[in-house]
Amino acid sequence: MDGSGDPVPAEKDSTDEASHGITQLSLRKDEEYYNMQMKKNRGMAVIFAYSEYKANRCPERKRAKNDVIICKTSFERLQYNVTVHWNLIKKSFLNELIKICEADHSECDSLVVIFMSHGGIDEKTNLEFLETFDLKVNTIELWKKVTPEKCPTLAGKPKMFFIQACRGADADEGIQLKKTNIGMSVQTDTIRLGSMHAEEDEEDYSIPLYADLLIMWASYSGMVSHNTVRKGINGSVFLHFLCKTLDENAEHEDLSSMLLRIKRQVATEFESNYPGSKKQIPQVLSTLMRKVLFYDK
């Protein structure tokens, strides 16, 4: 109560707002670019790397160390704060994902998560999984907790996931094509957002719960992904071209253009001996609503 005996209104808690489907957003709804110039550090880039497994339950990944080195170097160059976790058990892996979601990302531009291990499709559930040191984990666990109501300080910011793992046992035979048409549908829910830095007459607006996500797999659904020591590559083909493209083009190209370049290079410049000549094409699921630039416009 104040001096008059009337109860003093409680201060509004931003955490309480998030729990009721309201969180703060710093961009106008028609903004073309994400704000990637907020602070000195762009945010977290978390690498989950697996090279060995309990009781040899999966084949050893002998070139994982090189994959980590090139990923760490590339994302540090882009001013991310890179953390590497090696060979975590499932429980520890899930705990680290919770820590990421509970962290304060208010002064960060974005989030990057890189996962490299074995993977596949569960024959009983038909769900994709990834291998941790001791147990399988559903692939969706990587991003299911970074929605705005669970991680409000990442609301309206790009959350990017790069997955180096097989998605099945099939190998891409390859074929000569003249034209390709690709379409994608995305199912979403909505959450209420309030604008924090917009002008007073700017209306609040809603975005889908699964907006601002980018998920890039090394291969197409159901297909294997390859690694090699040929053609200047010493590890995963996908991660090699991901890092090569970021290193060479991030200072003058937007992310969407670079992802096209990565897919094209993996598809056209690499051919495995699986046995036989096999191909690989990365797959992207994106609900990004704006352009991502790693340089000043």
pLDDT at residue 218, rounded to an integer: 92
pLDDT of residue 167: 80
* Pair type for strands 119-121 and 111-116: unpaired
pTM of this structure: 0.79
Residue pLDDT tens, the chain, 297 long? 444 455 444 444 444 444 444 445 567 888 999 999 876 679 999 999 999 999 999 999 999 999 999 999 999 999 999 999 999 999 999 999 999 999 999 999 999 999 999 999 988 998 999 999 999 999 999 999 999 989 999 999 999 999 999 887 655 444 444 444 433 332 222 233 333 333 334 444 454 678 999 999 998 887 777 777 667 778 889 999 999 999 999 999 999 999 999 999 998 886 655 555 677 889 999 999 999 999 875
Domain map of the chain by residue range? 19-24+38-168+191-196+204-224
- Does domain 19-24+38-168+191-196+204-224 fall under CATH 3.40.47.10? My reply is no
pLDDT for the residue 191: 30
- Rounded distance between C-alpha atoms, residue 105 and residue 24, angstroms: 12
